[in-house]
Chain A
């Protein structure tokens, strides 16, 4: 076994137990840790002290980029590159550029949202030390887990183990790095 484990994993049987355990781990001041649940648990993000995601900022940038791209595209094609009078309309008007700009706003916002989400999640992730543990199987079925990583500044093998025991964690194991 290597000198330093990736972290500690603890098992919980019920949703409330992992929820309240998460609150205590949060209050103990840990930062690099996570919960593994078979389904989304409402309010768990609050119990873990996770702030609101930064994805909307990516979306906003994508939206603004999409809108300006649409407007510039129509402006360039119909005013600069190939000016043509169509239906007595001016070469350029934001009115007929608007549907294009609107669609591109949506498209770019969607791209930025998905891309930003993957980027912030660190996805795609082909390997994670938790996958080495057999615990992950029950974590995808009917058990709940809390993983505290050794990279956390507050991590101390003995103390962290004690904390996980105190909050009701069972079968506490070290994860291989």
Chain B
């Protein structure tokens, strides 16, 4: 078993190839952002702003998932995940850049009539009922929470909390590589203890402000948890891809064993069921209570005003079968969790379907001016969503690669590293 540790030591210094990886990622990100900017002239500000929101929410969700997983691993004193944790710590470097990329959405909300994305920011916005938002009782009751200054402060607060927690976790872990002092492990455990509570509150706030309030009439107590399920699932999927990539490159030869993949695969499976549980519960409660303030949200995503099924109905069905049933059945098998060529396609699929889930929750808020119907799923905005995801993703991985080159491949002086390298062996 000691041979594992020996091979690990040989492969500790990240190669210089990652700096070219960083440049490449930034280049891809710039292309994505550039194409999205072209979209401004083709489809107008509103469509592109929503697509940008989807791309940003998708990658922020993955970064939040990484943050929560790192803290969960610390607070549970988990040993199996030490190698995986380092990859998440690199991913956390993306938060400041995500905040920067979010800034345009806040800035456009402060300019013009304020209702480009979140219509409740403009009290004079005329609703379909003929009232303005300012005279809408459902808005008035929520106005202490849903107003532009609060939105700005809360969004800033969320990013500050995430950046601060990430900086603490990263600093402690990276410093321990050099001095091996146990106090960093204890510091991370303390950070995790209050950080998990802060993280839960901020991710719920962010999901409510950014996504749920797009239809501010709507009520759902599940929404923050739904967001959390996607965050963690996305982070785990990216984590698996990074492990497989590092293994294929040779860095993790002798470090990554099948038991690591089995453990992380079981977590992906668990969060598949968790996502389904939350999403079903949300749908089921609304379906059962049958109150118009709640059901309209699903009606928008199922039928047109004439009662015909819309494209969104099939997107919803795709989520039911693709987000839950397919990964659920696939990941039941042990082999599918540990064989590299079998786990890889399913985590890529899960990442794609999480993106579809984000689109499903965000995009129908864009209504067609003439008919008042949501814009269909297959429209030009899907193209700008893809360019946004590529743009933000490029920046995300640029931050990852920059951090990757800064420190060791695995936390070599973590007190649990030996236990991790021989996980279940």
Beyond A52-B334, A60-B332, whether A87 also contacts B424 by CB under 8 A is no
Distance (whole angstroms) from the CB of B264 to the closest CB of chain A: 18
Contact mask for chain A residues 138-156; partner B; CB cutoff 8 A; 1 contact, 0 none: 0000000000000000000
Docked-complex contact A87 and B290, CB < 8 angstroms? yes
Q: Which residues of B372-425 have CB atoms within 8 Å of chain A's CB atoms?
A: 422, 424-425
Docked-complex contact A98 and B280, CB < 8 angstroms? yes
Docked-complex contact A43 and B424, CB < 8 angstroms? yes
* Residues of chain B lying within 8 A (CB to CB) of residue A43: 424-425
**Is B221 part of the contact surface with A, judged by Cβ < 8 Å?**
no
A-B contact pairs, 18 of them (CB 8 A): A42-B424, A42-B425, A43-B424, A52-B334, A56-B334, A60-B332, A87-B288, A87-B290, A88-B290, A89-B288, A95-B283, A95-B284, A95-B287, A96-B284, A96-B288, A98-B280, A98-B284, A99-B284
Residues of B in contact, count (CB < 8 Å): 11
CB-based nearest A residue for B335: A52
* Residues of chain B lying within 8 A (CB to CB) of residue A98: 280, 284
Distance (whole angstroms) from the CB of B300 to the closest CB of chain A: 19
Q: Which residues of A85-132 have CB atoms within 8 Å of chain B's CB atoms?
A: 87-89, 95-96, 98-99
CB-based nearest B residue for A96: B288
* Residues of chain B lying within 8 A (CB to CB) of residue A60: 332
For the complex, what is the distance from the CA of A50 to the CA of B334, rounded to whole Å? 16
Q: Which residues of A56-108 have CB atoms within 8 Å of chain B's CB atoms?
A: 56, 60, 87-89, 95-96, 98-99
* Residues of chain A lying within 8 A (CB to CB) of residue B425: 42-43
Interface residues, chain B, CB within 8 Å of chain A?
280, 283-284, 287-288, 290, 332, 334, 422, 424-425
Distance (whole angstroms) from the CB of A93 to the closest CB of chain B: 9
* Residues of chain A lying within 8 A (CB to CB) of residue B283: 95
Residues of A in contact, count (CB < 8 Å): 12
* Residues of chain B lying within 8 A (CB to CB) of residue A99: 284
Distance (whole angstroms) from the CB of A81 to the closest CB of chain B: 22
* Residues of chain A lying within 8 A (CB to CB) of residue B284: 95-96, 98-99
CB-based nearest A residue for B289: A87
For the complex, what is the distance from the CA of A96 to the CA of B283, rounded to whole Å? 11
A-B complex: 9 closest residue pairs judged by Cβ atoms: A43-B425, A42-B424, A95-B287, A42-B425, A95-B284, A52-B334, A98-B280, A87-B290, A96-B288
For the complex, what is the distance from the CA of A52 to the CA of B334, rounded to whole Å? 9
For the complex, what is the distance from the CA of A96 to the CA of B422, rounded to whole Å? 46
For the complex, what is the distance from the CA of A89 to the CA of B287, rounded to whole Å? 9
Distance (whole angstroms) from the CB of B145 to the closest CB of chain A: 31
For the complex, what is the distance from the CA of A99 to the CA of B334, rounded to whole Å? 27
For the complex, what is the distance from the CA of A43 to the CA of B287, rounded to whole Å? 49
Distance (whole angstroms) from the CB of B156 to the closest CB of chain A: 40
* Residues of chain A lying within 8 A (CB to CB) of residue B422: 42
CB-based nearest A residue for B334: A52
* Residues of chain A lying within 8 A (CB to CB) of residue B424: 42-43
CB-based nearest A residue for B280: A98
Most buried by B among A42, A56, A87: A42
CB-based nearest A residue for B283: A95
* Residues of chain B lying within 8 A (CB to CB) of residue A52: 334
For the complex, what is the distance from the CA of A1 to the CA of B81, rounded to whole Å? 54
Distance (whole angstroms) from the CB of B17 to the closest CB of chain A: 34
For the complex, what is the distance from the CA of A60 to the CA of B332, rounded to whole Å? 9
* Residues of chain A lying within 8 A (CB to CB) of residue B287: 95
Distance (whole angstroms) from the CB of A92 to the closest CB of chain B: 14
For the complex, what is the distance from the CA of A88 to the CA of B334, rounded to whole Å? 44
For the complex, what is the distance from the CA of A52 to the CA of B425, rounded to whole Å? 15
* Residues of chain B lying within 8 A (CB to CB) of residue A87: 288, 290
Q: A42-B425, A96-B288, A99-B284 are in contact. List 6 more A-B contacts (CB 8 A).
A: A43-B424, A87-B288, A88-B290, A89-B288, A95-B287, A98-B280
For the complex, what is the distance from the CA of A88 to the CA of B288, rounded to whole Å? 10
For the complex, what is the distance from the CA of A42 to the CA of B259, rounded to whole Å? 11
For the complex, what is the distance from the CA of A56 to the CA of B288, rounded to whole Å? 35
For the complex, what is the distance from the CA of A99 to the CA of B288, rounded to whole Å? 12
For the complex, what is the distance from the CA of A113 to the CA of B251, rounded to whole Å? 39
Distance (whole angstroms) from the CB of B324 to the closest CB of chain A: 12
CB-based nearest B residue for A46: B425
For the complex, what is the distance from the CA of A88 to the CA of B291, rounded to whole Å? 12
Contact mask for chain A residues 45-59; partner B; CB cutoff 8 A; 1 contact, 0 none: 000000010001000
Distance (whole angstroms) from the CB of B294 to the closest CB of chain A: 14
For the complex, what is the distance from the CA of A171 to the CA of B280, rounded to whole Å? 61
CB-based nearest B residue for A99: B284
Distance (whole angstroms) from the CB of B335 to the closest CB of chain A: 9
* Residues of chain B lying within 8 A (CB to CB) of residue A95: 283-284, 287-288
Distance (whole angstroms) from the CB of B425 to the closest CB of chain A: 5
For the complex, what is the distance from the CA of A64 to the CA of B284, rounded to whole Å? 22
For the complex, what is the distance from the CA of A52 to the CA of B424, rounded to whole Å? 14
CB-based nearest A residue for B422: A42
For the complex, what is the distance from the CA of A151 to the CA of B340, rounded to whole Å? 40
For the complex, what is the distance from the CA of A73 to the CA of B283, rounded to whole Å? 22
Distance (whole angstroms) from the CB of A15 to the closest CB of chain B: 11
For the complex, what is the distance from the CA of A52 to the CA of B259, rounded to whole Å? 13
For the complex, what is the distance from the CA of A11 to the CA of B51, rounded to whole Å? 68
Distance (whole angstroms) from the CB of A139 to the closest CB of chain B: 23
For the complex, what is the distance from the CA of A96 to the CA of B424, rounded to whole Å? 42
